[in-house]
Structure 1
Amino acid sequence: MLEPTDAPMGKRGETVIALVDDDRNILTTVSIALQAEGFVTRVYSDGETALKALLENPPDLAVFDIKMPKMDGHELLRRVRAKSDLPVIFLTSKDDEADEEVGLELGADDYIAKPFSLRLLTARIRAILRRAETAAPGGEVRISADPVNPSIARGKLFMDPARHQVTWADQPVSLTVTEFLILEALAARPGVIKSRNQLMDAAYPDDIFVDDRTVDSHIKRMRRKFRAVDPEFSAIETLYGAGYSFTDG
């Protein structure tokens, strides 16, 4: 049986995935499967143990179970999000929409319902890591010289995709990778209505197994973040039955 451990930081070029679940069988099975795909894994059997390690020695991505003793996945993510934009995937109970919605509103990048396919989990992990490749682990920044990702300035909004930085009226706004890509898709063409499917394609280009309500949860959380720096924020508009648009007026 695989014992929970805080493995040393991966070598240069290695990708570290943290797994947090009170089910030792899941920890063992998922860890072995991810190691076979070339990932380095760290495993934790409860949220309290995981929290300190995740903040002091951040992995590249973490997978949290929700229902755990001592500290559940929601509380763990809440505390992580207070200090870090670490990409997180939630494992939820099958068909438990409440778990999914709360997790996304807290800032999870994705969720997968149990029982789940290891192949699907691996695909989701790789998709999120690709979306996050411009931001280094631990909040450091890799500057990209990619000319196809120029900065975006729309009214009070400024976005720098190469640095994964967002400001509103010169105040920094911290977004997860998924939130950033959804906002980027909206701000790139102000006034144009983007359907939920179009926004999902922007945020999950390699993943067709995403429920469209995830977009609503990400939008809701983004609005709260912007209103924390500007209570009058209203740049993301809902067009009922159609989708969302960004206005820079």
Structure 2
Amino acid sequence: MNNDYLIAVVDDDENIRTLIQAYLHKENYRTIGLANAEDAWSLHRISPPSMWVMDIMLPGMDGYELCKRIRNEGEVPIIMISAKDNEVDKILGLELGSDDYLVKPFSPRELVARIKRQLERWIRITGAGEKAVVSDVATPRIDAGELQLMLEERRAIWRGEEVDLTSKEFTMLKVLAEHPNRAFTRDELLSFVWGEDYFGSDRAVDHLIKRIRKKIEELPIESVWGHGYRMRTDRSEA
């Protein structure tokens, strides 16, 4: 049910906020409107919504910084809206973690369609909204050297210590660990992690790998120059 999801609309233009919220209410989504990024960040810390629609040009903290902060803590869908239509601005927004980018002026119906698509993808990736199934079957697990991935629990263990990963970070590790030593192209990783209909830059892959490497510094993910990435499990110990 759409009313299970709360969508936060962050824009300092009250008319735009009201218009977006009105169209979302017609689709039975719950919404909350915010005029600045500081209030939005407070909401995220206290009671995070199911999805964000945010402008880039905001008073005080801008949308880029807000997106970066939210993305560093989770994979909730983010759509950026902006009057900036330069390719550089779009790429920057996508690299910082937004899932979609829409240029003003835009059709509210198109925005609603993109919101639906992003929520459906998020539900598919995370299993949000699905009821837990009790089973006596042992939890599937992937072992890749010193890394273990508990698939049903979506837990990652590195050298015996659990690592806190976002949904996309976990999915990226799952793809690489399931096929050790295979070199994946950036386009392949985009398709596996973001979905085949993702239109953003393949540099989003580099940004995600950078985040994973920061959390697990000695993880053997190698860059394959001009191609993409692979996880090595065949390296001999020194």
Q: What interval of TM-score do these two structures reach, taking the shorter chain for normalisation? A: 0.7 to 0.9
**Aligned residue type for 1:20:** V
- 1:237 matched to 2:222? The reply is yes
Matches within 5 A, 1:148-159: 150-159=140-149
Note the C-alpha offset of 1:98.
Answer: 5.3
2:181 is aligned, of 191, 208, 214, to: 191
Deviations 1:3-31 (A, max 9, x none): xxxxxxxx997112222222323322332
Q: CA deviation at 1:90?
A: 4.3
Q: Distance in 1 between matches of 2:16 and 2:140?
A: 42
Distance 1:206 1:81, change over 3 A: closer
Contact 1:90 1:103 in 2 (8 A): no
Corresponding residue pairs, total: 225
Tell which structure's C-alpha radius of gyration is larger: 2
**Per the alignment, do residues 98 and 235 of structure 1 end up closer, same or farther by CA in structure 2, a change over 3 Å counting?**
farther
Q: Structure 1 residue 52: deviation in Å?
A: 1.6
Matches of 2:70 and 2:45 in 1, distance apart? Answer: 7
Quick check: 1:36 aligned with 2:26?
Answer: yes
What is the root-mean-square deviation in Å for CA atoms of aligned residues? 3.1
Show the counterpart of 1:218.
Answer: 208
Among residues 169, 172, 178, which one is paired with 2:159 in the alignment?
A: 169
- Segment drifting more, 72-81 vs 170-179: 72-81
TM-score by length of 1: 0.75
Q: Distance in 2 between the 1:52 and 1:220 partners?
A: 27
Which 4+ runs in 1 deviate beyond 6 A? none
Give the direction of change, closer, same or farther, for the CA distance of 1:85–1:151 in structure 2 (3 Å limit): same
Mapping of 1:192-207 within 5 angstroms?
Answer: 192-205=182-195, 207=197
Structure 1: segments with no counterpart, 5+ residues: 1-10, 137-141, 228-232
Which residue of structure 1 aligns with residue 99 of structure 2? 110
Percent of aligned pairs with the same amino acid:
28
Q: How far apart are residue 64 of structure 1 and its match? A: 2.8
2:47 corresponds, among 46, 57, 71, to 57
What are structure 2's unaligned runs of at least 5 residues? none
Distance across 1 between alignment mates of 2:88 and 2:232: 31
The CA distance in 2 between the partners of 1:168 and 1:12, in whole Å, is: 37
Matches within 5 A, 1:69-84: 69-80=59-70, 84=73
Q: Deviations over 1:135-171 (max 9, x none)?
A: 99xxxxx866698x82222112122232332232233
TM-score, normalized by length of structure 2? Answer: 0.78
